[in-house]
């Protein structure tokens, strides 16, 4: 299986190429430069592997939630590449990608992921992760809420992941006391998006290029 994945949902910009289980990637934290960085990253990966775009089985991208401009960049690039070469697409949750990254890094299994959503809110999602199988199971639903309203499930053993814990330490003080640990620097990354796309390919149909759309969660912005 050959998958090209990319992500521009947060201050990190990344692309990854998965070829028959072998992963190569490019990853930088460069806010406001995603538009100029992502296409060269893709070209570098494909050139180094000697793989033309038309030979890819799937494209995958971080569909959000995240920064609105960044989400549009990723969706736009994927749509353009997919349409020009008729390549099916998988849209992967950036919160789930952060959870898988933290699971592989620390061995954690239960994670509350919070990404700063600006406007005194956070994007949140709770996940159970099997990092060895690259499986991430959403607990409940993803949402955007004020950090003071974040709640953990009753059971113990949850870990906190994402920039929300760094940006809103006071508002999340009670929640943080119940956590078994934190990683505030585990941004979503194309590497994990590619791995999650492999799992998705085994259980669901991919999207058509025109269906590769970002997910904002914040209705009042989406409506505009």
- Domains 2-93+189-223 and 95-183 agree in fold: yes
Across all residues in the chain, what is the average pLDDT?
94
Q: 90-142, pLDDT tens digit by residue?
A: 999 999 999 999 999 999 999 999 999 999 999 999 999 998 889 999 999 99
User: 2-93+189-223 domain in CATH 3.40.50.880?
Assistant: no
Q: What percent of the chain has pLDDT over 70?
A: 97
Kindly state the average pLDDT of the residues 166-181. Answer: 95
Domain ranges of the chain: 2-93+189-223, 95-183
Does the pLDDT at position 222 exceed 80? no
Q: 190-200, pLDDT tens digit by residue?
A: 999 999 999 99
**47-83 burial, b if ≥16 CB within 10 A, otherwise e?**
eeeeeeeeebbbbbbbbbbbbbebbbbbbbbbbebbe
Task: Residue 219: count other Cβ atoms within 10 Å of its Cβ.
Answer: 9
pLDDT at 219: 59
Kindly state the average pLDDT of the residues 159-182. Answer: 96
Q: What number of helices (H) and strands (E) belong to the chain? A: 7, 10
pLDDT at 189: 97
More confident: 221 or 55 = 55
CATH hierarchy code of domain 95-183 = 3.30.420.40
């Amino acid at each position: 299986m050959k998958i090209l994945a990319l992500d521009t949902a947060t201050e990190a910009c990344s692309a990854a190429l998965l070829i028959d289980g072998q992963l190569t990637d490019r990853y930088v934290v460069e806010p406001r430069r995603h538009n100029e960085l992502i296409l060269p990253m893709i070209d570098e990966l494909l050139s180094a592997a000697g793989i033309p775009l038309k030979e890819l089985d799937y494209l995958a991208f971080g569909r959000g939630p995240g920064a609105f401009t960044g989400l549009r960049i990723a969706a736009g690039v994927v749509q353009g590449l997919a349409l020009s070469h008729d390549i099916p697409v998988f849209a992967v949750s950036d919160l789930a990608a952060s959870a898988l990254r933290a699971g592989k890094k620390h061995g954690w299994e239960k994670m509350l992921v919070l990404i700063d959503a600006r406007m005194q809110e956070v994007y949140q999602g709770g996940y159970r992760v099997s990092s060895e199988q690259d499986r991430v199971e959403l607990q409940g639903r993803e949402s955007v809420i004020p950090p003071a309203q974040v709640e953990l499930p009753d059971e113990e053993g949850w870990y906190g992941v994402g920039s929300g814990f760094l940006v809103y330490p006071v508002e999340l003080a009670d929640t943080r006391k119940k956590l078994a640990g934190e990683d505030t620097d585990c941004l979503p990354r194309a590497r994990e998006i590619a791995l999650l796309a492999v799992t998705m390919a085994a259980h669901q149909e991919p999207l058509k290029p025109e269906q590769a759309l970002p997910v904002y969660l914040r209705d009042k912005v989406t409506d505009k």
